[in-house]
Amino acid sequence: MDSEECEEWMVESIKLYKDLHDFELQDPTRVIEWIGEKSICVAGYDDTKSNEILQLLVPQKLQIKENQGLCPERDLKVEHGGFTQYPVYSLKHVPEHSLILTTGPASALVQVWQIGAEDKDVIKPTSTIQSDVGNDTWTKIATTAATSPRVLHGSRINNVQLTELESNKQIYTLATSGNEAIGSLSFLDVNTFLLCSLSGRLMLADIRQSGIAIEQNLALSASCNSQWIAAVKPEHSGITSLSSGGHITITDSRNLGAPLKCAKGRISEPCTPETFMCICWAPRLDNCISISGFDGNIQIYNTESWDETVQERDVLFTHRGHSVMGVCKDNSVPRVTCHTWHPWKERTLISAANDGSLHMWDWLDRCTGL
């Protein structure tokens, strides 16, 4: 986009956002993970060099829950940092602990890191967990504190395991056949997890029991040969799934076999989960989901009026800031690598793109003016 169009968008953005912060990371990240309510973790994914893992304190304005006037501090601050020799494609924080875990395609290991170990500002590797991985994928992970910190990990549906971090002991193995690559892993609660395979199989399993409790094939509800990922809504039974062709389904974890709602997103081109495809629930807004990875935009949808019909749906809000304000080294338009919602600010998101840009933005609902 040229400078004139960028200027026009900046003028228009005054009507679109309550706040919009633009930051530049030293290296692009494809992970954004909240550490508590005031910090995020990012990490590089360059496979030609060592990569930084950084815990960043968000600006003061994003920490307060009420309007307290002017906030002088508007920058990101590095709280802790470390280096890994591998590119980081997945990063998860262990709830209630100062531990993070990372994986990527260059290693069959899940790396365990301690935040603030010994030297207070250091993120230090403490151990590794072996995890089988194929040449065309990498290990997906999900974490839970439960009675002790645990990580669910696997690259294919027949090698999913739950490992206790302190003892490095394997305490659960998913008993199922097939070797489809995994698109995503998510905990619904401390005992139940959701597996979404790239081929479109949704599997719900309970670590207290062997085998699969419930299963659905998402590919049956989409008329295309797609790859899939899924996300669960914290403290709810809702599951939303996204295909590389832009198909979106919403199901209830208590009945995976009957999608409650379906849609076709307004995407510019197909994507694959093994690049940057991302879908999230809004934690503080009912019926809102967001998707990215197809281009330089993040789209937000209100699913309240959706039904089982697969049809193209209107977008509630589109953040075009990365494609408008940034440019990659090869002069291409940036592509969004990941995004996440603020834990308690209803309409605040953080997003990153492959040009190194990091945006924190609070969007306005034009229907309500909020």
Kindly list the structural domains of the chain, giving each domain's residue range(s) and its CATH number in brackets, ordered by start. 1-28+192-365 (2.130.10.10), 31-65+72-179 (2.130.10.10)
Give the integer Cα–Cα distance in Å for 11 and 321: 12
Give the integer Cα–Cα distance in Å for 271 and 126: 35
DSSP summary character for residue 331: S
How many C-beta atoms surround the C-beta of residue 150 within 10 A? 23
Give the integer Cα–Cα distance in Å for 130 and 166: 14
What pLDDT does residue 119 have?
67
pLDDT tens, N- to C-terminus, the chain (370 residues):
566 667 776 777 778 898 888 999 999 999 999 998 899 999 999 999 999 999 999 987 776 665 544 344 568 999 999 999 999 999 999 988 999 999 999 888 999 999 986 668 999 999 999 887 666 789 999 998 777 899 999 999 989 999 999 999 999 999 887 888 999 999 998 899 999 999 888 999 999 988 777 888 876 655 557 899 999 987 778 999 999 999 999 999 888 878 899 999 999 888 876 689 999 999 999 899 999 999 999 999 999 999 988 899 999 999 999 988 888 888 888 999 999 999 999 999 999 999 999 999 999 987 665 5
Give the integer Cα–Cα distance in Å for 137 and 181: 7
What pLDDT does residue 107 have?
83
Residue 60, classed as helix, strand or coil, is helix
Give the integer Cα–Cα distance in Å for 292 and 155: 22
Give the integer Cα–Cα distance in Å for 229 and 220: 15
Give the integer Cα–Cα distance in Å for 188 and 232: 7
What lies within 8 Å, CB to CB, of 99 at 6+ separation is 93, 112, 113, 114, 115, 126, 149, 165
What pLDDT does residue 338 have?
97
Residue 324, classed as helix, strand or coil, is helix
From the list 297, 303, 288, the residue with the least C-alpha distance to 339 is 297
Give the integer Cα–Cα distance in Å for 137 and 248: 23
DSSP summary character for residue 72: S
What pLDDT does residue 70 have?
38
What pLDDT does residue 305 have?
93
Q: What angle do CA 253, 256, 257 make, to 5 degrees?
A: 160
What pLDDT does residue 68 have?
46
| Helices (runs of H) and strands (runs of E) counted in the chain | 2, 28
- What letter represents residue 276's amino acid? F
Do residues 105 and 89 make contact, with C-beta atoms less than 8 angstroms apart? yes
β-strand partners of 128? 111
What lies within 8 Å, CB to CB, of 175 at 6+ separation is 210, 211
Burial (CB count <10 Å: 0-12, 13-18, 19+), residue 266: middle
